[in-house]
Chain A
Amino acid sequence: MNHFFARHLYLVDFTVASLGRRRGRNLGLFAVYVLLVFVLASVSLMTHGLRREAQAILESSPEIVVQRMIAGRNDPVPTGAVAAITGIRGVRAVQGRLWGYYYDAGMRANYTLMVPPDRPVESGAVVIGGGIARLRQLDTGDIVHFMAPDGRIVRFTVSGTLDSASELVSADLVLMNEGDFRAFFGFPADRFTDVVASVRNPREVGTVASKIALALPEARVVTRADMLRTYEALFDWRGGMVAVVLSGAVLAFVILAWDKAAGLSADERREIGVLKAIGWETSDVIAVKFWEGALVSLLAFLAGYVLAYGHVFYFSGALFEPALKGWAILYPRFRLVPEINGQQVATIFFFTVVPYTLATIFPIWRAATIDPDTVMR
């Protein structure tokens, strides 16, 4: 066993020295390697960060949302539903919500208008998200005009902006009071957009949800777990899409690695010949070549990953923002929480280091099995 380690120590020593002697040779491959890891790691860190962000938002979202469906489409829920749900055993609190979308034609942006359940807003005033404040250059005390669906121009005073801590959700928010909301949209007084319910015992969410569905036959009941699963699948699907798109790049990299490993210079062939002639065995040469690949891979992987980490967490993934976040105008300005996860690292490893290793086995073997008497010819 000691001999095993000692031998590999010597072989690594030789590998490091020979990489040092031929610094230029692997540079091109190394750069491509780093780039590939960088792109894949950026995508993966970013989808994971966004997924975490979405999970964090869902944590604080209601356990059950009840919507009303007519002909497969959403329809406002009658206010009576609140009472009906309150009567169900296991339900802790029920609340009707009012919210909707508003398209700002001038800015070509979509806002989310809502009535906050826990924050009173004065009549004629609005509280706006950071994204809107930046887009329309608004500050507290400014006046803002919105065009109601029926063509009226409605004037609001900005009474505050939302802090940027939760900007992923709040960037496009406009908060107003219930009277203003109903008047602005002409929303019927006996309806809510939807109804949310919380449950005493988290284990009974499923039971309560099915009781609600039974009590309100026209309702669609969505639980937080349903949302979580959907988000999870959505982000995985996005990541999968990107991986498919990038598989061409992986393939190109594999071909490059094969080509690089197969195209030994005369000098390198001579060197292997000398090593074999002075008593190195084929498996020693294979081991040296593997260590070479391992060292290049390790360095490239680390470099690519560190660059991606900086890119995603310090520069907010500037290069891939449009592709992965998918919002149109109001990009939330936020920083993802840095997190490295073993599964992602291993996945990227399988997309980069493993193909590289496989691509180089055959060329390495070819190089290592040259005749030991070549140097004598």
Chain B
Amino acid sequence: MLFHPTIMALLLWSAAAVAGVAVAAAYGWTILMEWNPASGSARQLVLERRTYLVSTLMAVVLWGEVLSLWLFVYNADAMAVMFVGAMCAVGSLNADPYGFPALIAKIALFFLAVVWLQVNRADNQGWDYPLVRVKYALLLILVPAVVLSAGLQYAYFSGLRADVLTSCCSKLFEVDREGVGADMSSLAPMPALVLLYGGLGLTLLLSVWTWRRPVLSAALAPVAAAVFVAVMVSVVSVVSTYVYAQPQHHCPFCLLKPEYGYVGYALYLPLFVGTALAVSSWPVHHFRRAASLAQAAPAMTRSMAWVAAACYVAVAVVCTWIIAASELYYFR
């Protein structure tokens, strides 16, 4: 189902993102190969100036990915009417086996792009660009990631078939088949809530510690990544049901709808920002070993940990508010 304005926009964008990252990587490759800070040659100046192009391209790709992630989810929700049994975005994403992989790849790409840009920001503070090689090697890893994400998205959209009336063959269209799974599997409320608050508490504690002792970012980053998954699982399992006041409706996407006061944005925005910063705090801190970043890298790590901590508090507050304001009660 490629002949659809939003799908075309998303496919065009993913093609542009592949092209953008490919150009960035090609320039990055020349930088990686020829970089020589000791040289005063014109070539070195050309390479230095290319770093600006690469970071600009990456920033645009990042923001485009953010917007396209949003549009992807929004569109999945809008398309639900076209699939038998699909009630919302979950159904549309389940309508083809590549739906959820495409979504997950987009989210992963967002985090990778943030990490790259933060490493880039750190590097730009060291007067001798100490991370140049690391940075452009990382960029080469981003290329397959963005290609994979684009490929999965294409596979998803091209595999979609709207359940549409045709004038021939079958007589009955709304067959009594099992509709595409409208719900996601879920945990029981109690373990889900323990997971949610336990995870948030742990990351909050670690971010505050990292703020005081930046070296702990090595623990914060992997924990934050794991807690992101845990929080998403609890949102699906329990937080969403509180929002809809329906114990059967497990959907992380309907939260974004006006019917529910756009509460999803209040939840996901701090969650994504906090996770992205917590995850990038570690690579950034790792680079304190470069003499020119000995001061700047820990300072950056600390400020990232601080913002991440604020974000986790925000997530916890929003979740608690949702549960407190809900008409649904699991425990009395």
Contacts and interface: CB of A to CB of B under 8 A. Distances in A.
Q: Does chain A bind chain B?
A: yes
A210 B83 CA distance: 18
B71 interface: yes
A350 B12 contact: yes
Given A205-B174, A210-B175, A346-B67, A365 B168 contact: no
A223 B60 contact: no
A239 interface: yes
A361 B1 CA distance: 32
Given A282-B52, A357-B60, A369-B49, A346 B70 contact: yes
B5 A347 contact: yes
Contacts of A232: 79, 81-82, 162
Contacts of B81: 225, 228-229, 232
A364 B52 CA distance: 11
Interface string B26-66: 00000000000000000000000100110011001000100
Contacts of B3: 236-237, 240-241, 244
Interface in A99-148: none
Contacts of A344: 5
Contacts of A169: none
A351 interface: yes
Interface string B1-14: 11111111110110
B259 interface: no
Given A343-B78, A361-B56, A350 B174 contact: no
Central interface residue in B6, B10, B81, B174, by most chain A CB within 10 Å: B174
Interface stretch (A88-96, A214-222, A263-271): A214-222
Nearest to B53: A365
A368 interface: yes
Contact of A243 (B8, B13, B56, B57): B8
B71 A350 contact: yes
A324 interface: no
B52 A283 contact: yes
B60 A361 contact: yes
A24 interface: no
Most B-side CB within 10 Å, residue of A223, A229, A237, A242: A229
B82 A219 contact: no
A286 interface: yes
Interface string B150-183: 0000000000001111011001111110000000
Interface string A232-260: 11001101111110000000000000000
A226 B20 contact: no
B196 to A, nearest CB: 28
A240 B8 contact: yes
B84 interface: yes
A350 B10 contact: yes
A350 B60 contact: no
A39 interface: no
Contacts of B52: 282-283, 286, 365, 368-369
B155 to A, nearest CB: 19
| A207, A226, A350 interface centre (most CB from chain B within 10 Å) | A350
A295 interface: no
Nearest to A74: B167
B5 to A, nearest CB: 4
Interface in A347-377: 347, 349-351, 354-355, 357-358, 361-362, 364-365, 368-369
Contacts of B8: 240, 243-244
Contacts of B328: none
Contacts of B163: 226, 229
Contacts of A223: 173-174
Given A241-B3, A342-B74, 9 more contacts: A44-B5, A213-B172, A226-B174, A230-B164, A233-B1, A233-B82, A346-B6, A350-B12, A358-B20
14 contacts: A209-B172, A210-B175, A225-B81, A226-B164, A229-B81, A229-B164, A236-B1, A239-B5, A343-B74, A346-B71, A347-B6, A354-B64, A358-B20, A361-B53
Interface of B: 1-10, 12-13, 16, 20, 49, 52-53, 56-57, 60, 64, 67-68, 70-71, 74-75, 78-79, 81-84, 162-165, 167-168, 171-176
Closest 8 CB pairs of A and B: A240-B3, A350-B9, A369-B49, A233-B162, A236-B4, A239-B5, A365-B53, A230-B165
